[in-house]
Amino acid sequence: METFLLCAPDFFCVDYSINPWMIGEKIDIKLAMAQWHDLEMTIKHLGADVKNINPVEGLPDMVFAANSGIVHQNTVVMSRMKYTERKDEIKYYRSWFVKNNYNIVDLIPGITFEGCGDALVHKSNLIGGYGYRSDLKALEITAGALNLSLHSLKLVDPRFYHLDTCFCKVSETHAIYYPDAIDKEDVKKLKGIIELIPVTELDARLFMCNSMLVNNVLLIPSRDAEIAAVLRNKFGIKTCTVNVSEFLKSGGSIQCLSLKI
């Protein structure tokens, strides 16, 4: 059974800015909580299991569980956050994984890595992004620890600071991506690994590349995006819309809120 780890947004707010989307917009916490519960219920409705980690006061971005690490075959490589505001999140996530009997890999000091924000597993491959939040060396170590072949992509647009803001696996054969956010030469590394479908800047700004597969159904943040119709009509990909608009105020969406474990 597919399983996802989520963290409720009890303390979610935008009190600091560590990416271009965080401009201090006030969070409607009741709406954020309702949207988060809708995401949780949708994942369960699609036949997956959900585990929860308790939120911690003073760590508003802990809600973005995907940034805590990356899990493969009961091994988790823990993140080392770039910004001071988020560093304390990891000790709570690490404790959760220890209590749940995962094999823990801690990266060496001095490098940064932000988990599934910048990395995803595709078959025997690790597709990783670097340049803003994660270091290339961290991706190399992570791929080795998980016994996966690394395909690294340099990110080149600060608005799309994590790989999961500009790249998303939408099936076992295809992924969507925003071409202007990734080094064009690096994109060529994925030839023969996965077929790529480009999205427009408008769709990228709607965080369509932060969608998430759950049991072969793609959870998307906006049904009205151009790429949504293309995926359904041309590629036969089932989609389900989950509105997480409050979380976009912090530069995150569906994938950011969910860590596949």
The pairing of strands 167-169 and 174-177 is: antiparallel
Q: Is the dihedral of CA 41, 44, 46, 48 positive or negative?
A: positive
Contacts of 187 (CB under 8 A, 6+ apart): 153, 177, 179, 196
151 is annotated as an active-site residue: no
* Alpha helix segments (H runs only) across the chain: 29-45, 84-87, 89-99, 136-145, 184-187, 201-205, 226-233, 245-248
Q: Which of 246, 252, 250, 248 is nearest to 32 (CA)?
A: 246
How many Å apart are CA 243 and CA 191, to the nearest integer? 33
> Which one of the listed residues 162, 166, 168, 209 is annotated catalytic?
162
Amino acid identity, position 203 = D
Active site residues: 162, 256
